[in-house]
Structure 1
């Protein structure tokens, strides 16, 4: 039995969305896809999903690795909205530390120089389609470095749930909430685990005070296996069809 046909899998999600409706609440669904560098069949598949479900994708592109084929492909994929994903996607953390390209131990002057160089290259490659949103590799950037971003021209920042700006602020922050990949095995996570986690996160959002709470999916199209793609098909089909869910556009989420 295919994932799409396994109706029992989705019953907890349907029940949670009904609770949103009963409470008169609406959740804004959006998604971000990281590590784009070139045209590929997987990028085509992502674009097709985005088009079919009317859900634009914030596409985080690695500036210093991006290839001309990506620019050519994106001209035919208007629902994939490119933004900057770090610089080289290199780990600068010390041995044993969590991977990060923009950790606290790096000098602000070095960070600023790299960001400007990478932003210029990406703008030259992608032109006006490039959004002024920054996505740090591994969802990590020291808050002091995040505070530099507005001066460089970034109006948005996206990490993963739990990340917060520091006392010096930064651009508009919109985090993703649900990562569909199991990075230890580098495969799609079990669908039952993802549905359970999505329901827990949605329940917590429903208990908050934000009338237009957003729920972001985190994708990596280059690494998806069939389990990941099948989950996306089933999840998007059910979420986008429910009246308690609004399709989110990254340009509006970041106030662009």
Structure 2
């Protein structure tokens, strides 16, 4: 199926949501923020053009004060915590992780707490108490300790689930726009639309009354293909009656129940 043919299929699926009296909370998460840039300016402009709030996962120990000044004029970019240093501590044979089970949990939680303090020093009350682990991986035991640090929300990717100890309000992202294994390039519109369509159809058939769908962005790595898809997607569906562009504060509220 061509990319052009996929757009009507996506709209038809959203029409089915509307006919069923269902709404999808569409939200944007952008990872690896550190410093102002032309790419960040483009993200801010896109957010304003579509009135689309963005959860801006910021690496606290690498973030520059200039980023805090830039966000003063970007009201729809909401900074939250993206790890501490974004360093890999997993052995070479394992998938990358900063906050996995490769170090003592107490030390990892202390590092996270230091990062959270740094983020609040930079952004003050604008810093949302949401934790986004680098590479979307976190040990469930560490996740369970986040609320004690003041981090009430957690966002990973797709099927991540909290362990038996529980943890923060969890809202995972669903669709990664970048192909990390083949040159860190933007995925084709056809592939993205087919994946989004299948996942929305699955969500629509679930019994829970609310649902969210998160787009995973990395503004520093976006190419023309990625920006074009994002622009076109929001232009086509932002005003659809089945779509709500969700603010992070709503998503991670304790009573939200969106994921």
Q: TM over 0.5: same fold?
A: yes
Runs of 4+ in 1 over 6 A off after TM superposition: none
Aligned to 1:143: 140
| Equivalences, count | 252
Report if aligned partners of 2:6, 2:194 keep a CA contact under 8 Å in 1.
Answer: no
SS in structure 2 at match of 1:103:
coil
**Whole-angstrom distance in 2 between the partners of 1:180 and 1:7:** 18
Aligned to 1:35: 32
Please provide the CA RMSD for this pair.
1.3
Aligned to 1:246: 244
Deviation, 1:211, is: 2.0
Match of 1:230 among 211, 228, 231: 228
**Whole-angstrom distance in 2 between the partners of 1:238 and 1:67:** 35
Match of 1:113 among 107, 110, 113: 110
| TM-score, normalised by the number of residues in structure 1 | 0.96
Deviation, 1:105, is: 2.4
1:17 aligns with 2:48: no
Report if aligned partners of 2:31, 2:82 keep a CA contact under 8 Å in 1.
Answer: yes
Per-residue CA deviations over 1:155-179 (Å, capped at 9, x if unaligned) read 1000000000000000000000000
Aligned to 1:48: 45
Of stretches 19-28 and 159-168 in structure 1, the one that deviates more from structure 2 is 19-28
Structure 2, unmatched stretches of 5+, are 255-259
Per-residue CA deviations over 1:204-232 (Å, capped at 9, x if unaligned) read 10011222210000000000000000000
Aligned to 1:193: 191
Deviation, 1:7, is: 4.6
Aligned to 2:210: 212
Deviation, 1:239, is: 1.7
**Whole-angstrom distance in 2 between the partners of 1:56 and 1:22:** 26
Aligned to 2:121: 124
Deviation, 1:237, is: 1.1
Structure 1, unmatched stretches of 5+, are none
Deviation, 1:127, is: 1.2
1:97 aligns with 2:94: yes
**Whole-angstrom distance in 1 between the partners of 2:248 and 2:237:** 17
Per-residue CA deviations over 1:133-174 (Å, capped at 9, x if unaligned) read 000000000100000100011010000000000000000000
Deviation, 1:55, is: 1.2
Aligned to 2:257: none
| TM-score, normalised by the number of residues in structure 2 | 0.95
